[in-house]
Amino acid sequence: MSLPRFMTVVLLLALCVPAGTARGEPIETFGDARLSFFANEREARDGTETSDEGLRLRLRVGAETRLSEAWLLRGRLAGRFATEQDRTRFWLKAWAPARAGLEDGDATIDELFLRYAPAEGDWSLRMGRFQSKFELMGVAAKSLDRNDSPNVDVNWTDGLHLQYDLTPAWRSHLILQRNVSSGTGPLVRAPLVFDDSGSRVSAFAALESTVPVGPLKQRVLTVTWMPEALATDGIAAKRREDYVAFTAKLFTEWPIGTGGMRGGLGGELGYATNTPLDPVVNARDSGSAGGSAHQFSMNLFDFFPGHNIAFVYGHTDAGWLLSPDFRNNDLLLEIRYQWRIVKNLSMEARLRRREELKLPAAAPQERIDDDFYVRLSAKF
């Protein structure tokens, strides 16, 4: 089904929903803008050095309305722009134009969904195009598996999202994600592809709790299943296998002194049960690529009121292909500073280094990327 047809189905469903007692509800508008100055420096595998810098802007504007007490209709437009872009276009297709999402100068519909949430129920269902995030808490919230639209990126998920409260403390999630032969909306890394007919639907399930238990603030277990999506021998080869990955996230927080300052430690572990062959992901070794991943963060909240800082360490093997925040075959070191200026306005600064872990056989040295940004984020 093409994207225009997919969107048409969502809108037709909205028209068929009974208006109920909430007919005449007003349309609420919302939006956010994120402006970033960035600078990148790269030392390539052959030792050459390159750099670039500029401004990037992400702008999102949306609206929602209640069709009845239980039904909500929501839509949003999103665009990504930069000083170095060479064109502007409206992208209305079922897949993202690049693996990271929209390219500079692109705009699209990144949300258009119906949500059903009965007033007396303990479950809800979203149908259509939506945002899905399962980040590790912290100043620099990141995820090894699912995190649509981080930083100034624009991604989306097409499909169904069912939430069910198992207990007052624990919530379950099931996402059925629609893919097409040309790609998908969330970020996935090569050699994950969707050209096999068996890869049209991916599944993601999670158990999460954010009800504090002593210093514990977050506990999450997830599993991702992408049938027939892994090009084990490379994209040009015919063989496709299932890609299955598990993660566990844990975040703790505690007070420091009596002035409101708090400390926080977070960690996430990931493991993929099936990975591509090492030569497919540019590693020296033979056999299958490693499938492990982990991240850890140390956080200090409100060391002055509204000021937070964190250090993040991440390590992802070449066979970990799901994260929008961590490249596969990479070591990441990051310092993040955040200033909550007022309720809907914040400033962040990031200094990050990423080093390649394993090299192609002919490469004399690993690739190293150093980058920095300062960004302002505003909600309206």
pLDDT digits (tens, 9 = 90+) for 259-273: 899 999 999 999 999
Letter string b/e over residues 330-353, b meaning 16 or more CB atoms within 10 A of that residue's CB = bbbebbbbbeeeeeeebebebebe
Does the structure show a pLDDT above 50 at 220?
yes
Task: Give the pLDDT band of residue 24 (cuts 50, 70, 90).
Answer: low
CA pair distance 157, 78, nearest whole angstrom: 14
- What one-letter code names the amino acid at 53? E
CA angle 322, 127, 62 (to 5 degrees): 85
Q: What is the pLDDT of residue 286?
A: 76
Instruction: Classify 20 as helix, strand or coil.
Output: helix
For residue 273, the 8-state DSSP code is S
Does the structure show a pLDDT above 60 at 17?
no
Q: What are phi and psi of 370, to 5 degrees?
A: -115, 130
Does the structure show a pLDDT above 80 at 8?
no
Q: What is the pLDDT of residue 280?
A: 87
CA pair distance 362, 227, nearest whole angstrom: 33
CA pair distance 28, 119, nearest whole angstrom: 20
Task: Give the pLDDT band of residue 21 (cuts 50, 70, 90).
Answer: very low
CA pair distance 229, 198, nearest whole angstrom: 8
Do 45 and 359 touch, CB atoms closer than 8 A? Answer: yes
- The model carries a pTM of 0.92
Q: What is the pLDDT of residue 20?
A: 46
DSSP assignment string, 334-375: EEEEEEEEETTEEEEEEEEEEEESS--TT-SS--EEEEEEEE
Q: What is the pLDDT of residue 18?
A: 54
Does the structure show a pLDDT above 50 at 194?
yes
Sorted by sequence, the CB contacts under 8 Å of residue 115 that are 6+ apart come out as 71, 72, 74, 124, 125, 126, 127
Task: Give the pLDDT band of residue 358 (cuts 50, 70, 90).
Answer: confident
Q: What is the pLDDT of residue 182?
A: 96
Q: Report pLDDT digits (tens) over 115-161.
A: 999 988 899 999 999 999 999 999 999 999 999 999 999 999 999 99
Does the structure show a pLDDT above 90 at 298?
yes
Q: Report pLDDT digits (tens) over 324-355.
A: 999 999 999 999 999 999 999 999 999 999 99
Strand partners, 20: none
Q: Where are the alpha helices (DSSP H) in the chain?
A: 3-16
Do 100 and 153 touch, CB atoms closer than 8 A? Answer: yes
Between the alpha carbon of residue 171 and those of residues 55, 121, 225, 375, the distances in Å are 39, 13, 20, 33
Does the structure show a pLDDT above 80 at 37?
yes
CA pair distance 115, 336, nearest whole angstrom: 35
CA pair distance 85, 355, nearest whole angstrom: 27
- The mean per-residue pLDDT over the stretch 221-230 comes to 98
Q: What is the pLDDT of residue 12?
A: 56
Q: Report pLDDT digits (tens) over 229-264.
A: 999 999 999 999 999 999 999 999 999 998 899 999
Q: 88-97, 304-313, 361-370 — which is least confidently predicted?
A: 361-370
Q: What is the pLDDT of residue 287?
A: 84
Question: Pairing state of beta strands 106-116 and 89-90?
Answer: parallel
Of 226, 228, 117, whose CA–CA distance to 175 is shortest?
226
Q: What is the pLDDT of residue 234?
A: 94
Instruction: Classify 194 as helix, strand or coil.
Output: coil
Count how many residues are written for the chain. Answer: 380
Helix (H) or strand (E) holding 228: strand 216-230
Do 127 and 13 touch, CB atoms closer than 8 A? Answer: yes
Does the structure show a pLDDT above 70 at 9?
no
More confident residue, 359 or 379: 379
Give the rounded percent of residues in the chain with a pLDDT score beyond 90.
Answer: 86
